[in-house]
Structure 1
Amino acid sequence: MNERKGVGRMWHLYKMGGITPALASMRGVQNAQQMAFIRSISKEQRKDSIMDQPLSEMEVVVFDLETTGFYPANGDEIISFGAVMLKGGQLLEERTFYSLVNPKRSVPRPISELTGITNEMVRDAPELMQVLHDFMAFVGKRLLIAHASGHDKQFLNSALWRTSKVNLTHRVLDTIMVAKWLDSGRASYHLDDLLEQSGIVIGQRHHALEDAVMTARLWLHYLKRMLERNVVTLGDLYAYLSKH
């Protein structure tokens, strides 16, 4: 009976004020506030076009996720977020984001061996909602950049939907696409190979923040080459990428 009353109250709140107050009654005020913030970021993102912004001045966030596996639909979870901010051709090393996430499941041994993240490390880490809220606050309305972004996009989109019932509305630019345009015909577009080719020191791989910083340095390497080709705005870049 109590469960039925709870469901009835949630349905009443949904009809009166929408999904945010309804979920507030079920999840608690803090989670509801975090969810409302994430939803507002998503809504604001839809309003502004960033395609005319000069790449030489544009603020972007390069990010990376570590996860328990490859398939969020099958129960795999994010275990860490890493990100760094850039403004034009400058890497803002003081503007970084890193957090472990409690995945509410065990971290498989191969993932622990790859990332160095153990079950003990994530046991007391913040939950996904908190870290996602903080990550989206760090990102704001900026362009997102990632290497092999399909993996990161599907996990980020899944996390946004599960926690806040919104889809990812930020543009996510993949450095592989830029590499395939600027260095077409390569046998490999693996991050290690591109870093080595670009003369960028390879640090600790499969650490979300370290990978984000190395990807950011790769982006800066490509940005210089793009500006030399008179690719001035994000719209210019997408126009070139659409042809390749």
Structure 2
Amino acid sequence: MKDMRMAGRMWHLYKMGGITPAITSMFDAQSAQQMAFIRSIVKEQRKNSLYEIPLDTLELVVFDLETTGFSPYNGDEIISFGAVAVQGHHMLQEERFYSLVNPKRAIPDEIEALTGITNGMVKDAPDLLHALRGFLEFVQQKVLIAHGSGHDKHFLNSALWRTSKINLSHRLLDTMMIGKWLNPKLKRYDLDTMLDWYGIEVTQRHHALEDAFMTARLWGKMLLEIRSRDVKTLGDLYAHLSHH
């Protein structure tokens, strides 16, 4: 009877997310459920066509990651997720997500100094699989926004592949790329420069949630300029950014 129940659970997990979580369920049922959920969220996102939705009503999640370094493929790990929901240019400040992550490795001294996240703070934090599930549960199928998204995208893709053997399929906007399109004569487009250019108060840098809040305010300012250029939908915006 026990073997029949195990087989039934494996079949359910296989239908939800594929063979990887089903096999893993033989060893750790909770981890398998987390993996199946992550895979189902990403799989569902592939079905969505958001290009015709007006930017004024588009639901987005602005996010930021703090990490132990710059390369997820050389042992660096995520140590915190921060995210806030946005609709159009309105930040929904109460709809937020923040989680520390136990990287299962020592945080370098320079990263502790930069982020304020210590080894002691992450000792009892969720592991990557559980924190990633919480982040994706918050995001659902919304469009993602980050500033200088290459870094964050690499880490997210690495995390998704390592935990669930799947790649990120969410639409992603980069406020750095948008800044280059809107202000082609500026010499720098880092977050501090963009915040100063748009007159946005700097609260706390290198804190994932605070950086997400500031990037959300930046998006709100940029959206006013985007609309003034008769760019109305996500598809319109991607078309303009593709030339820059």
| Higher alpha-carbon deviation: 17-26 or 145-154 | 17-26
Give SS of 1:162's match. Answer: helix
Match of 1:211 in 2: 211
Cα root mean square deviation, aligned: 1.5
Match of 1:3 in 2: none
Is 2:103 aligned against 1:114? no
Give the structure-1-normalised TM-score.
0.92
Deviation at 1:19?
A: 2.0
Q: Distance in 2 between matches of 1:20 and 1:190?
A: 39
Contact kept in structure 1, 2:59 and 2:87, CA below 8 Å: yes
Give a deviation string over 1:71-111, Cα, whole Å, max 9, x none: 11111000000000001121101000001000000000000
Give a deviation string over 1:123-154, Cα, whole Å, max 9, x none: 01111111100100000000000000000000
Give SS of 1:56's match. Answer: coil
Q: Distance in 1 between matches of 2:242 and 2:89?
A: 23
Give SS of 1:25's match. Answer: coil
- 1:82 maps to amino acid: G
Q: Which runs of 5+ in 2 are unaligned?
A: 1-9
Is 2:32 aligned against 1:29? no
How is 1:216-227 mapped onto 2 (pairs within 5 angstroms)?
216-227=216-227
Contact kept in structure 1, 2:89 and 2:219, CA below 8 Å: no
Give the structure-2-normalised TM-score.
0.92
Q: Distance in 2 between matches of 1:242 and 1:89?
A: 22
Deviation at 1:44?
A: 0.5
Deviation at 1:174?
A: 0.7
Q: Distance in 2 between matches of 1:97 and 1:82?
A: 6
Match of 2:171 in 1: 171
How is 1:1-244 mapped onto 2 (pairs within 5 angstroms)?
18-26=19-27, 28-244=28-244
Q: Distance in 1 between matches of 2:156 and 2:25?
A: 22
Count of residues in Structure 1 that have an aligned counterpart in Structure 2:
231
Among all aligned residue pairs of Structure 1 and Structure 2, give the percentage whose two residues are the same amino acid. 60
Q: Distance in 1 between matches of 2:25 and 2:72?
A: 25
- 2:203 maps to amino acid: G
- 2:227 maps to amino acid: L
Q: Distance in 1 between matches of 2:20 and 2:82?
A: 30
Q: Distance in 2 between matches of 1:30 and 1:19?
A: 13
- 2:136 maps to amino acid: M
Q: Distance in 2 between matches of 1:34 and 1:105?
A: 22
Match of 1:6 in 2: none
Q: Distance in 2 between matches of 1:212 and 1:170?
A: 17
Give a deviation string over 1:4-39, Cα, whole Å, max 9, x none: xxxxxxxxx79xx5222101113x111111100000
Q: Distance in 1 between matches of 2:208 and 2:55?
A: 24
